A and B are shown apart, each in its own frame.
Chain A
Amino acid sequence: MNLLEALNVSKAFGGIHALDTCTVRVEQGSIAGLIGPNGSGKTTLFNVITGYERPDTGVIRFNGKTVEKPTPDKVFGMGIGRTFQLTRIFPRLTVMENMHVAVQRRGAASLLSRWSSSHEQRQALELLEFVGLTTLQDMPAGNLSYGQKKLLEFAFILIAQPRVILLDEPAGGINPTVINELRDRIRDLNRRGVTFLIVEHNMEFVMSICDTVTVLHRGTTIASGSPQAVRSNPAVLEAYLGG
């Protein structure tokens, strides 16, 4: 069953067709990759799915239902979490405070309670342990290194227990050791039932972790299938090499 589908999505900015009847399907419980040359519309598709951009045509379906008028908070509330290509954390909040931002959706009464004594505190500690940031929990998040920020963003998405996580270049700009750790974390979570859609330029990373790969080129889906099948697809080679 497909947990997340973007069907025939088009989006133009002025005369530029960022997405042109593009279709991506993510099966429940899978790790799906989304690749394509620069400017092929990957991030735009993420923005459309997560409600940051309104598509001109096409629909987003989640869990078998069409998402009506998606907005970022609504989409998040449905169980779709995302990270950004350039990480977006809260630089002046501490690492631990960052962890607690994403647990707002528990009704007005709980908003009045102290975040530091909430029952999510244990979960937040576990997740920081999971990404190896426990010792830095009282540090302003803006002081973390780029890789640490990526891990923090990943961790604070997890606290809300999303059903599917969209990662925009999770391996970009971080060192190989951390990439391996990240890969382990993603696999671990996937085993626990979390579905992933990953945009990534690091081919080795994509091929080693993804169950299926979709290739975008000039805003259109040109291939979709297992990593091996996609890798040998002539259209894909053409797109990457021929431009």
Chain B
Amino acid sequence: MKIIRTFGLLAVLALLLAFPLLFGDPAVTTIAIFTLLFAGATVAWNIFSGYTGYISLGSAVFYGVGGYALALLCKAWNIQGGYMPFLLLPLVGLIASAFAIPLGWIALRSSRHVFVVITIAMFYIFQLLAFNLPGITNGSDGMFLPSPPWDAAFFNTPFYYVSLIVLLLCFFVSWWVRNSKYGLGLLAIRDDEERALSLGVKTGAYKLVAFAISAFFIGMIGALVNYFIGSLYPAFAFSPAFDITVALMAFLGGVGTLVGPLVGALLLAPLQQYLTVQLQIVGLDLILFGSLLLAVILLLPEGIVPSLRKTWTRWKASRGVRSPVAGSREKEEKALLAKGGREGNG
């Protein structure tokens, strides 16, 4: 099992690395870049919202802050287009985290229901600020990012690999969090926050750190998207569609699981890009996504990954296959009963 898994992972990695060589068409690689970036954003969103159960609909704040941070840094330091802006990404991420700490500190004082509302409010405040601080953001006229001097055939390649690196890094951090004692504390917060506190989990600090980690990656992704597009406008940098999309991708795949958000994003992001970029029908994706959200809630309340896992264990049970991990048959059956009986838990 472990060998199969390792080889599977290596195969996926090889495919991801070779992708721009196999598909040279810029239209295809553009979809691939957006897919990688949305996958990264969904995985990053899940590190906080998925593991702690605090659903944030204001991550666009960090996405926008990332975009503006890169534009302003390039302007201030007179940086030309090319590879240099990529090197600023970690700094941009840190700036986004620096915004996340005070914002999270305020928002996380509330219960998780109120938290959703506060994050939406924060998001609108930032959008308003972007419109109304023309001295910094140039208001509704928007800002331009330096344009890389690459020709059309090569243009997408650096963006593809940088996006891939960001996604892999983000996924690695999510994997590490999921398996660490720290991550266990986050999951305990999701299940019963007060109880976790009474067992010595420093819930406030735990949540805030996860919020900042999540913002770090979302900030970098916001910067990358806007660098790729070349321009930055308040309504797009701070777009309400961003959080809806990311949350839907996470819910579709399985919120709070490690691979679920990745699966959800890899399925939905290409579709979204195809609809908006290729068919040029702006807004159709939102209508479709809205209907899809309802379908997901109705049919797969736990998301694809947990549902498949359940089906897989049931199928194995029906075939009488023993899992090599589980010691005895009896234990296996008990575990199956347990999984089969699990209620929908997002």
Write the residues of chain A forming the contact surface with B, with a CB cutoff of 8 angstroms. Answer: 50-52, 71-73, 75-77, 82, 84, 88-93, 97, 100-105, 110-116, 118, 135-136, 138-140, 142-143, 156-157, 160
Chain B residues contacting A52 (CB-CB under 8 Å) are: 194, 198
Q: Which 3 A-B pairs have the closest CB atoms?
A: A72-B198, A90-B191, A139-B338
Is there an interface contact between B199 and A104, defined as CB atoms closer than 8 Å? yes
Q: Hey, what's the 0/1 contact readout for B324-346 against A, CB within 8 Å counting as 1?
A: 00101011001101110111010
- Cα distance A26–B335 when bound, in Å? 41
Known: A52-B198, A92-B187, A160-B199. 17 other contacts (CB 8 A): A72-B197, A72-B198, A82-B198, A90-B188, A90-B192, A101-B188, A101-B196, A102-B199, A104-B185, A104-B200, A112-B176, A112-B180, A136-B334, A138-B335, A140-B338, A142-B342, A160-B200
Most buried by B among A88, A100, A110: A88
Cβ contacts under 8 Å, A102 to chain B: 199-200
Q: List 26 A-B contacts (CB under 8 A).
A: A51-B198, A73-B197, A77-B200, A84-B195, A88-B195, A90-B187, A90-B192, A90-B195, A90-B196, A91-B191, A92-B190, A92-B191, A93-B187, A101-B184, A103-B181, A104-B201, A110-B181, A111-B180, A112-B181, A112-B182, A113-B180, A114-B181, A115-B184, A118-B181, A135-B330, A140-B339
A102 to B338, CA, bound (A): 24
Does B202 lie at the interface of the complex (its beta carbon under 8 Å from any beta carbon of A)? yes
Residues of B within 8 A of A (CB): 176, 179-182, 184-185, 187-188, 190-192, 194-202, 326, 328, 330-331, 334-335, 337-339, 341-343, 345
Residues of chain B with a CB closer than 8 A to A51's CB: 198
Chain A nearest CB from B302 CB (Å) reads 11
Q: Which of A51, A77, A139, A160 has the most CB of B within 10 A?
A: A139
- Residue of B180, B194, B196, B198 ringed by the most chain A CB atoms within 10 A: B198
Q: Nearest chain-B residue to A108 (Cβ)?
A: B182
Which B residue's beta carbon lies closest to that of A98? Answer: B188
In angstroms, Cα B196 to Cα A104, docked, is: 10
Residue from B179, B202, B328, B338 in contact with A104 in the complex, judged by beta carbons closer than 8 Å: B202
Q: In the complex, how many angstroms separate the beta carbon of B118 from the nearest chain A beta carbon?
A: 24
> What residues of A have a CB within 8 angstroms of the CB of B330 in the complex?
135
Q: Assess whether A93 is in contact with B198, with CB atoms less than 8 Å apart.
A: no
A159 to B278, CA, bound (A): 58
Interchain CA distance A156-B192 in the complex, whole Å:
14
CB proximity of A85 to chain B, nearest CB, Å = 13
Given the interface pairs A88-B192, A92-B187, the reply to whether A76 lies near B334 with Cβ below 8 Å is no
For B199, the closest partner residue in chain A by CB is: A102
**Residues in chain B near residue A157, CB distance under 8 A:** 199
Q: A100 and B181: CB pair below 8 A?
A: yes
Give complex CA distance A210, B188 in Å: 33
- Indicate if the CB atoms of B334 and A139 lie closer than 8 Å: yes
State the CA gap A102–B195 with chains docked (Å). 10
Complex CA gap A136/B335 in Å reads 8
Q: B342 touching A143 by the CB < 8 A rule? A: yes
B-chain residues with CB within 8 Å of residue A113 when the two chains form the complex:
180-181
Contacts of A100 in B (CB 8 A): 181, 184
Chain A residue nearest in CB terms to B185: A104
User: Chain B residue with minimal CB distance to A74?
Assistant: B200
Q: For the complex formed, measure the closest distance between the CB of B136 and the CB atoms of chain A, giving whole angstroms.
A: 36
Q: Which of B195, B202, B331, B337 has the most CB of A within 10 A?
A: B195
- A97 in contact with B202 (CB, 8 Å): no
Residue on A nearest B202 in the bound complex, by CB: A73
Query: Which A residues lie within 8 Å of B195 (CB)?
Result: 84, 88-90
Q: Residues of B contacting A104 with CB < 8 Å?
A: 181, 185, 199-202
- Contact pick for A76, options B179, B188, B191, B199, CB 8 Å: B199
Residues of A within 8 A of B194 (CB): 52, 72, 88
**A104 CA to B198 CA, complexed, in Å:** 11
When C-beta atoms are compared, the residue in chain B nearest to A71 turns out to be: B197
* CA gap between A182 and B197 in the complex, in Å: 26
Contact B181 A115 (CB under 8 A): yes
Residues from chain A with a CB closer than 8 A to the CB of B198 are 50-52, 72-73, 75-76, 82
Residues of A contacting B334 in the complex (Cβ-Cβ under 8 angstroms): 135-136, 139
The smallest beta-carbon distance between A198 and chain B, in angstroms, is 18
**Interchain nearest-CB distance for B312 vs A (Å):** 15
Instruction: Take A90-B191, A92-B191, A118-B181 as given contacts and tell me if A101 and B342 are in contact as well, using a CB distance cutoff of 8 Å.
Output: no
